[in-house]
Structure formats: C-alpha cells, structure tokens
Chains A and B, each alone.
Chain A
Amino acid sequence: MPADRKPIKGIVYAALFGALTAAGAFIIIPVPPVPITAQTFFLNVAASLLGGPLGATSQFIYVMLGVVGVPVFAGGKAGLGVLFGPTGGYLIGFIVAAFVIGILAKMKKDTGVFWYIFSMLIGMVIIDAFGTIQLSLVAALSLKKAFGVGVLPFLPGDITKIVLAAIVSSKLKGRIKI
C-alpha cells in the first residue's frame, strides 16, 4: 500500500537517530568542570530536525537500546533498573523534551539559530525537571539537593551542547526530507 510505504524513511531516520544518541554516550566533549557526553547534543539535533513525534520516537528507541542492555545510559549503565533508578527521570525527560523541542522547532517556517536555542533551552528545563524530581524521590534527597547534585554541575556543559546543536541543526535543516 503506498500510504504505508511513505513512513519507512521516518522509521529509519528515527532508528538511526536513536542509535546516534546511544553512540553519543561514547563521544566525550572535554568541557570544564565535568567532561560531558554528546547524548543530549544528538537529542537536540534529532528533535529539531525530525520534528516532535519522530524525535520523541528516536529517544524512545535510545531508551529501549539501554533497556535491552547496551551500556548507553549516562556513565555506561544499562538495563531496566536504570529507568526506575535515581537517574531514570532524565531518560523519561529525554522523550518528552524531544517531543516539545520538535514541535517548537517546526513551528516556524525558517527556523533560525536563536529559535533553535530557545526551544532546546525549554527542552533542557523539561529534562532537568523530570530528572530532579525522580532523583529526589529515589535517592531520598530534597529537591534542592537533587538539583545541586544532578543539574548544577552539568549546566555549563548542557548550555554549550545546546549552542553547538543549534548551529548544527540550522546548517543541516534542509538535508532531511521525510
């Protein structure tokens, strides 16, 4: 059926961006104070280039890769336990954030770097909100402490990644036709 054939490209792209996000666990960007992995960088690029639904799908695939046992969660973790563990909130936040970033980024006809940065910042807030809440629940820390452990040290790196991702997205935005 021709109606069924069209989304194949979408499936493949979402799968590959999921794999890229996973591969991002092994790409380390040397930024002070904490060296960071390229995962949320690929999350941002995936969401802004693929749009909301496919972007979220790609992050869901990434999470599933980790669940299946490929050590692609932050710090070389894997397995379903991570989702329920202290850092699981960030992973759920990934999926939600990708959806929102994708929707925001596709809202404008010709998205510029600053609009990309804006939507990715919103995404970052979503990820950190989910992450901090679960971290404080699971590790029995107060919200303030959880924020200090789970968000603050990574803030400079996260913002660097967002700027880089916005530049890359605006350079590549015409390249994908799904």
Chain B
Amino acid sequence: MYDTGTFIAGQTLIYKLDPRVKLAFTVTLSIFILWASPLPIFSLGVILLLTALTNGITLRTVGQSVRPLLLFIILIFLAHALFASEVEGALFVSYLGISLGGIQGGFIAVWRFLCLIVAAVLLTMTTAPSRLVAAIKYFLHPLKFLRVPVEDIAVMITLALRMMPALLLQKKKIERAQIARGGGLRRFGLWVRAKYFLSLVLGVLLGTFRRADELALAMEARAYARGERTSAVELKIRQVDYLAILLFCLMIIIFIALNLFLS
C-alpha cells in the first residue's frame, strides 16, 4: 500500500540536496514539461529516468508507481487517438476515427504524463517527509502576511501524516469485525453493500472523533499554543546545492533554447 513514492534512505548526491531546492526543481520541471514541445520533453524524460536510475531508484519502483495509473494512461491515449479532431497524416482506420496524428498526440500526452510521475517519484523518494514539510513551511512563509497560519498548517500536516496509517488500521479492524459477523463489502446486492459501507464509515468516523477529542485535550494539557515554534529539522543551503542549482538552470536554459529553436 505504501510502496509507491515513499522515502527510502540513500547516500547519493540527490539525497543530500536541500529539500527546498528539490521542491523548486520539481515545480519548475512540471511547468516546463507541460509547456515544451515533444523533442525537448523526450530528452528531458530520458535525463529524468537516468537520474532516477543512478540514484538507486530501480525501473521496478518507477513501474510500481506507474502501474496504478495504467487505466488513466490508456484513457488519455485513447482520448487522443480516437477523437483526434484535426486529421493529420494518413488515416489508419477511418471508420473508427483513428489517425496517425491522433496516435502521435496520444503518445506525446502519455510521455508527458510519465515524465511528471518520474519527477515526482524522484523528489518524494529521495526526501524524508519531515524535511519536505519543513520545505513546504518555508515556501508558505510569505503567506504569513495574508494572515495564513503557516505554523499551524505545518503542525496539521505532521498530525495528518502521523494519523493516516492509524486510521487505515482502524478501518481494517472494523472491516474484519464485519466479515466475522458475515458481512463485508464484497458480497450481496448494491443496497446491502451500501449499508455495510455506511456502518463501516460510521465506525471509522466515530473513532476518528474520539481520537481528535483526546488529541486536542492532550495538546491543551501540554500547553500547546499556536504561533512560532522551533523544528527538529534545520534546513541549510550548502555548496552542493548551489552547484545543483547552477546545473539545473543550465539544463533548463538549454532546453528552453532548444524548444524555441524547434518551434
């Protein structure tokens, strides 16, 4: 359940980069991927994949994060291939509306999609969640002037991160109890299923409320107050980061030039 995109500790260079730098890279990349023309995206995808492979992320892990999306990828491809509005190139199967241009468009859309996934996998698999939260907090900082409680948001993300597995565990428990009583979601007609689903989520929700009340009480008892707080994670931009930023900017500039040259 958690084997896609989860952090795995490693020692290569990319692990040592500042999470803020990596986050900025990922955002820049995702914008570029959606904007650029096919050839630069193709080469960028290859570079991304090579970066992943040289940093201990295997093709299998990449495949694992792609597999759940297979249906969506097929849908995107079909949407392009089947309903291509302007027909470029020779018609393949005219009565189905499949055209060469449509198939090309489909491949490009899927490739874009895969690039985005690999970029995201690279970020999340080489950065510990706590460091990523710290990076997010850093980037949300300007929102303070709009009176957005940035500190609270960081606390909330950490709380949610901690509680999610517990909630899933609780759901599993209730599910097992239902099955032990002859119920469960995988049988009978729609109405019975709906009823089992209702009793399942009511159990999960009531359990969550109890947890929330206890947690709030515990936090109050420990004199939790909103506002400035210190964190165990301290972010520092080092020489490696400057080097990475330099290389990254160089790469993006080359790609943008290539893109403008091609179009």
Interface residues of A (CB under 8 A from B): 1, 4-5, 7-9, 11-20, 22-23, 26-27, 29-31, 38, 41, 45, 57, 60-62, 64-65, 67-72, 75-87, 138-142, 145, 148-149, 160, 164, 167-168, 171-172, 175-176
Contacts and interface: CB of A to CB of B under 8 A. Distances in A.
B226 A4 contact: yes
Contacts of B197: 29, 164
Contact of B171 (A27, A62, A67, A81): A27
A77 B76 contact: no
B46 interface: no
Nearest to A79: B120
A140 B153 CA distance: 34
A144 B198 CA distance: 34
Given A41-B201, A69-B127, A139-B109, 5 more contacts: A38-B201, A68-B161, A79-B26, A86-B113, A160-B194
Interface stretch (B10-18, B51-59, B129-137, B243-251): B129-137
Contacts of B219: 8, 12
18 contacts: A8-B224, A12-B219, A13-B212, A19-B160, A26-B1, A27-B171, A31-B190, A57-B156, A61-B156, A64-B136, A65-B157, A80-B120, A81-B116, A81-B117, A86-B113, A164-B197, A168-B205, A175-B206
Interface of B: 1-2, 4-7, 23, 26-27, 29-31, 33-34, 65, 68-69, 71-72, 75-76, 79-80, 83, 85, 105, 109, 113, 116-117, 119-121, 123-125, 127, 129, 132-133, 136, 152-153, 155-157, 159-161, 163-164, 167-168, 171, 185-186, 190, 193-194, 197-198, 201-202, 204-206, 208-209, 211-213, 215-216, 219-220, 224-227
A1 B227 CA distance: 11
Main secondary structure of the interface of A (DSSP, over half): helix
A71 B2 contact: yes
B30 A81 contact: yes
A15 B116 CA distance: 28
A138 B202 CA distance: 38
A12 B1 contact: no
Contacts, number: 215
A12 B215 contact: yes
B220 A8 contact: yes
Contact of A69 (B76, B113, B132, B206): B132
Nearest to B27: A80
Contact of B119 (A26, A72, A79, A160): A79
Contacts of A19: 159-161, 163-164, 167
B164 A65 contact: yes
Contacts of A145: 79, 83
Given A20-B167, A82-B116, A149 B160 contact: no
B132 A1 contact: no
B220 A5 contact: yes
Contact of B153 (A31, A64, A85, A87): A64
A13 B219 CA distance: 13
Given A4-B226, A8-B220, A26-B168, A80 B123 contact: yes
Contacts of B85: 142
Contacts of A17: 208
A68 B198 CA distance: 30
